[in-house]
Structure 1
Amino acid sequence: MFQHNVGSRDDLSAAIYLYRPGDGGLDRVAIMLANHMARQGKAVELWMAHTDGVSAHLIDARVPVRRVTSPGGNRRLSMIAQFPALAAMVRRHRPNILYSAGNQSNMLVALACLGTTTRSVARISNPICPPGRHDLAAWARWKRFCAISRISDLTIVMGEHDRALLARSGTVRLLPRPTVTPVMDKVRMERQPRDADAPYQLLMVGRLVEQKDHATALAALARLSHLDWRLTIAGDGPLRASLAAQAAALCIADRVVFTGYVADPERLADLMGQADLLLQPSRWEGLCATLIEALACGANVVATDSTPNIRPVLAAAGQHPPVPTGDSVALAHAIERTLARPAPMSLVEAAIRDHRAAQALDAYVAAFADLIPSPVASILPSPAWP
């Protein structure tokens, strides 16, 4: 149980709400943050509806895990039903901070903290407004995000675009995404010059779902049969069979390897270190950790315009500008141009500097501490006076 010290920034305590330790970027950030705070000797716990998951092995043994009672079933409905249990846990354990790992749990966390001294922290993990959407549904989504930000004590965003959208909705801070690890730096520094006679090594990393749009990338690569390339797809999901069938229909199945989900961060870094180019064809993203990870490992990147947040990163790293989502022709042209003219490593290294994990995680902890009111000094009467 936390020893709650309102007004004591040095004794900061935090509970991190994560629905399940899954295979997404928000799951990894939540676990990295918990591990980082534990290594600093701070009181931190992971509160989860489900404690099983493909990234559970990444949780440091020093991080206590508490289970939030969950009725199961549909994830969104399950989160709504968890409110009484989570609110009770906040009042029982009284952490200084309750941090939400991502979009779907931001409202749950904010409501659970209302009427308590625990500060709620929301994190924007996917676009507030999906790219290209300007309809009533997009407007309603934006208004919902604004409302959640107003009742949260702090909202963390990953790009200037998101900060501008929430500028008048509570306290909003832009913080770098904790991404670049020492393992990635090591992989980048140990990269060997490319063998001009070897096939180009291409890589896609992510769940095999509609959002990641691997299908458009396969269609783009089918247009580049005149190039000698090989593609590794690291990830798993419901579309694996249909993607394999698409590769066969496009006559590129012999160039494509499905590895399944890669749970080991070092193995994933090695795959990125061997890649000449990462393909990121997503339909929408928040910032896209995989893109930054690949750059950190020395690979170039071709990405779709899945979020305005990636544009500054790509520009700083000297990468090809993002191409329209779902456009296999534009994606094919960008792949061919990037393979012919990769960016200098000096630009790549400069672009990832702010996303080093330890530095970025320290910024999260500092933002938490800023929410804790400083002790008010009281003036004691002098014993010389009656």
Structure 2
Amino acid sequence: MVTLANGFAARGYAVDLVLASAVGSYLKDVAPAVRVVDLRAGRVIKALWPLIRYLRRERPLAMLSAMNHANVVAILARRLAAASTRLVVSERTTISVEVARARGLSARAVYALVPRLYPKADGIVAVSRDAARDLERFAKLPAGSVRAIYNPFDLERIERLAHEPVPHPWLQPGQVPVVLAIGRLTEEKNFTALLQAFAQLRARRDARLLILGEGELREELERLAHALGLGSDVLQMPGFVANPFAYLSRAALFVLSSRWEGLPGVLIEAMACGTPVVSTDCPSGSREILEDGRWGRLVPVGDVEALTRAMEETLTMPRDQLPDVRQRAQDFDQTQAIDTYLDAMGLLP
């Protein structure tokens, strides 16, 4: 969303980045031309009345929201504000999978409102074709009514950051090959399967594993790593890092082990850094990105043995015999996505 806001501003539009709470690691990346509006609501679900007041005061020409709970709030706010703002809502993941795992009354209430409220938006977008069709089925929307627009990636910025120094000693020249994974330590990312597969890989060849990210499953994953005999000499989880691209560009392999996604952006970012990739064939997006395995190996979700084999075969193959994944990453450059989003919002590129 920061990339989109910056891109809209670069096209000459006055852009507000309206946040329930203006916190987070990406605020520093917001362009000076973008105005950050802090609703000071804490949680998105509490942002309804502050957003109504914003819409009545500012009367924006168009509004783009992202993630289902924010989308529900945006639709209700526009209606209660009686604003003529054109509203496009964007679904970021495979909603049927998320619904099946929803916990708590508020989460279930949001999903129950999706089929009733999404048709009231002027446009509905999802981040991949599979996610779009999934949303149509879940919300009982007409076939083809959800538009698939891939997320935008600032490839020039990624290239620049990829060449910055990396502090981790494992990624210096002459070291053992490093397998890299990035993502929040949650059920969705299924790092449990990755740890099990990496333990098998270690029995066959020398390698190290870095997992960048933080989350509620850290202690559980650390216990599993200990049970698998993966000490700090072969596995480290440094937490969130500000510049993952410097890590990606020096890793021997990037692995996405997710159970589900919407469009796994980190897979595209790894390819933009030229890093060979292995991914689960999860719903949704991986198969689309890798074009049925043309650019990297796809393995069944949760198949530890298949993941081990794919990692081993990719690490064994000479780098010059692997696909040049940078070519595919070019298809996700921000220019096309920004223009397509502007079109969906009824604005000229």
TM-score, normalization: structure 1?
Answer: 0.75
Distance in 2, matches of 1:54 and 1:185, equals: 20
| Correspondence for 1:152 | 121
**Over alpha carbons, which structure has the higher Rg?**
1
In the alignment, structure 2 segments of 5+ residues that lack a partner are 102-108, 165-171
The yes-or-no answer on 1:270 pairing with 2:246 is yes
301-310 or 169-178: bigger deviation: 169-178
| Correspondence for 1:251 | 229
Distance 1:343 1:101, change over 3 A: farther
The yes-or-no answer on 1:306 pairing with 2:282 is yes
In the alignment, structure 1 segments of 5+ residues that lack a partner are 1-29, 73-77, 135-139, 373-386
Offset of 1:364 from its aligned partner?
1.7
The yes-or-no answer on 1:293 pairing with 2:234 is no
TM-score, normalization: structure 2?
Answer: 0.82
The yes-or-no answer on 1:62 pairing with 2:62 is no
Deviation per residue, 1:13-42 (Å, 9 max, x gap): xxxxxxxxxxxxxxxxx1111122223331
| Correspondence for 1:110 | 75
Count of paired positions: 327
Offset of 1:171 from its aligned partner?
4.4
Distance in 1, matches of 2:288 and 2:320, equals: 15
Partner-residue secondary structure (3-state), 1:64: strand
Distance 1:339 1:210, change over 3 A: same
Identity of aligned residues (%): 31
Distance in 2, matches of 1:164 and 1:124, equals: 11
| Correspondence for 2:7 | 36
| Correspondence for 2:179 | 202
| Correspondence for 1:101 | 66
CA RMSD of aligned residues (A): 3.3
Distance 1:220 1:345, change over 3 A: closer
| Correspondence for 1:182 | 156
Distance in 2, matches of 1:127 and 1:142, equals: 12
| Correspondence for 1:128 | 95
Offset of 1:198 from its aligned partner?
5.2
Alignment partner of 1:88 out of 14, 37, 53: 53
Deviation per residue, 1:160-199 (Å, 9 max, x gap): 2233342617843221211242143467899xxxx99852
Matched-pair contact (CA < 8 Å) for 1:149–1:155: yes
The list of structure 1 runs, each at least 4 consecutive aligned residues, that deviate by more than 6 angstroms after superposition, is: 131-134, 140-143, 187-190
Offset of 1:48 from its aligned partner?
1.1
Offset of 1:82 from its aligned partner?
2.4
Offset of 1:329 from its aligned partner?
2.0
| Correspondence for 1:315 | 291
| Correspondence for 2:167 | none
Matched-pair contact (CA < 8 Å) for 1:283–1:304: yes
Aligned amino acid, residue 327 of structure 1 = D
Partner-residue secondary structure (3-state), 1:238: coil
Aligned amino acid, residue 311 of structure 2 = I
| Correspondence for 2:213 | 235
Partner-residue secondary structure (3-state), 1:204: strand
